[in-house]
Amino acid sequence: MNGKVIGAVAVLLVAVLLLILGGGAQEEQKRTLTGPMTGGCQLDEDAVPEPMRAPLRRAAATCPEATGCILAAQLETESNWNPDAYNVGSQATGLAQFIPTTWAAYGVDGDGDGTADPRDPPDAIATQAIYMCHLVDFVTERTGLTGEIIELALAAYNAGPGNVERFGGIPPFAETTNYVTKIRDLASGKYTLERSALPVEGLHGRAAEVIRFADQQRGVMYAWGGGTLNGPGEGFGIDAGVVGFDCSSLVRYAYYQGSGQTITLPRVTDAQYDATKSQPVPVDRLQPGDLLFWGVLGNIHHVALYVGDGQMIEAPQSGQTILVTPIRTGGDYFGATRVFGGPLDATAVAA
């Protein structure tokens, strides 16, 4: 049994023990939290100063809650993108306005130059994401808090995690409430790339729901081996530490959630093709919700979800985000299949 399997068994055992020993009550309290904002945000890099774009892109893969849009909006709010910003009273320094004690605990060398400096944008942005993700964990693990996870984490960044715990949510400080509001407005406005509408107007039923769930993940990073039935997850290998989906986990997630958790596709592309190949679909007969595959029989390596009007949504490859593109039927395009009405659908309905 390898380390990953042992770890998974350990996590399962801990979960069972928590339920037996009162973990259920803790979970009940946590239900007052909402979030995380993992999808629906594709960073508009044109709104970000050019030297900050690559560091921000890397930082956005730290955890799903701290999206590129949130981090960019937070940097504008903290320093207006000024690496030399300095607050005499608090000694907060740099783009992300770290005070000395917080920097000493969390500061990292984001660009590999051998030093961790809060005035160096790559270092500041990498540390900002790490600290925000720590605060996400903090508020998630505390019982009795009310609010959206990312907003509580932002409030903790501004007012301190102790105050969030003390007040059971966002502290009633004008500075903090204005801080959280400004960041959410900037994140959903200025720093979110306006997305073209998918061609599903007038489409109803399960196909529309499957596409909607996939579309909510636009802008989320590709992560090989990452992604679960319930959302983005950490990748493996070349994408270790990256939180997102790979191609097959994206369509699997979309079908599971969009079908009301009644259709569960296999995890990998080869198996997804095998499970749906009884309903092949020619290109000129494609319908929204159909799956498109690339590769050769026995080695199908990519899958995408057809959304209509000659377009598909896909998790393309490492280093890229989930996006909508025109369908590609050249190269090693293998074919398309239909899920609805097939064996997986029939099994789900029968169950």
| Active-site amino acid positions | 247, 302, 314
Please tell me the distance from the alpha carbon of residue 136 to that of residue 21, in angstroms, as a whole number: 25
Q: Which residue has the tokens 């073209």?
A: 196
Hey, how many other C-beta atoms are within 10 angstroms of the C-beta on 138? 16
How far is Cα 260 from Cα 349, in angstroms, rounded to an integer? Answer: 11
Reduced to 3 states (helix: H, G, I; strand: E, B; else coil), residue 269 is: helix
User: Which of 343, 298, 341, 333 is closest to 312 using CA atoms?
Assistant: 333
Other C-beta atoms within 10 Å of 280: how many?
Answer: 13
Q: Could you write out the DSSP letters of every residue in 143-200?
A: SS--EEHHHHHHHHHHH-HHHHHHHTSS-S-HHHHHHHHHHHHHHHTTTBPPPPPPS-
CA distances from 77 to 41, 70, 184 (A): 18, 10, 11
| Cα–Cα dist 276/304, whole Å | 14
Query: If DSSP codes are grouped into helix, strand and coil, which group holds residue 243?
Result: strand
From first CA to last CA, the distance across the chain in angstroms is 33
Burial letters 168-199, b for 16+ CB under 10 A, else e:
ebbbeeeebbebbeebbebbeeebbbeeeebe
Contact yes or no for 305/325 (Cβ under 8 A): no
Say whether 293 sits in a helix, a strand or coil: strand
- φ, ψ of residue 153 in degrees (nearest 5): -65, -40
